[in-house]
Structure 1
Amino acid sequence: MAWIVLIISGMCEAVWATALGKSEGFTRLWPSVVFVVGLAASMFGLGWAMRDIPTATAYAVWVGIGAALTVVWAMVTGDSDVSWIRILLILGLVACIVGLKLVDQGHS
């Protein structure tokens, strides 16, 4: 269950990171509201997951999921260019996240 919560928290990280950029320095209301809600949900979930997952692994997985999804979302919405090198780098990041999960199986 901790891994599921951690994955959802990583997804929330991508939400708040994207909303932060869209808030234009907290001058736009709804992106700012989404940022605060996403940040709270992300941090709460990360903290909850870290009860069962070692800090180093949980944090690295959380950041990796958030970073990968933020870049993918930016490419899907046209805020960032799509290129094969970006796609390969994201796949490498995902492979590292999966690798961290595999080496930490004894702790979940």
Structure 2
Amino acid sequence: MAWLALVAAGLLDVAWALSMKQAQGYTRLGWSLLSLALLGAFVYLLGRALQALPLGTAYAVWTGIGAVGTVLAGALAFGESLDVPRLLGIGLVLTGIVVLKLAPG
């Protein structure tokens, strides 16, 4: 259940980043309120996950999901570049997540 909460927190982090972009510096009320709600939701789920998972691993997985997901979402939603260096960076982040997940302890 902790891993499910952690993955959900990572996905909500991506949604939060997208909503912040749409909020345009918190000048658009609806997007701003959604952004704050998503922020609260992912912090809550991350906190729940941390009750059972090692801090370093959980935080790395959460930020990895957020970083990779946000790069991909930015490309899909806003036409941001997915050039070779960015794709290599995504690969490195994903490799790091897998190594941390498989590490003992």
Give the partner amino acid of 1:12. Answer: L
Q: How does 1:1-108 map to 2 (within 5 A)?
A: 1-104=1-104, 106=105
Deviation by residue 1:24-76 (Cα, 9 ceiling, x = unmatched): 11111222122112111100110000011111211111111101100000111
Alignment: residue pair count: 105
Q: After TM superposition, which residue ranges in structure 1, 4 or more long, deviate above 4 angstroms?
A: none
Alignment CA distance shift 1:36-1:6 (3 Å):
same
TM-score (norm 1): 0.88
Gaps of 5+ in 1: none
Gaps of 5+ in 2: none
Query: Once structures 1 and 2 are overlaid, which stretch shifts more, 42-51 or 17-26?
Result: 17-26
TM-score (norm 2): 0.90
Percent of aligned positions that are identical:
37
Alpha-carbon distance between aligned partners in 1 of 2:26 and 2:79, rounded to the nearest angstrom: 19
TM superposition shift of 1:17: 1.5
**What root-mean-square deviation, in Å, do the aligned CA atoms of Structure 1 and Structure 2 show?**
1.4
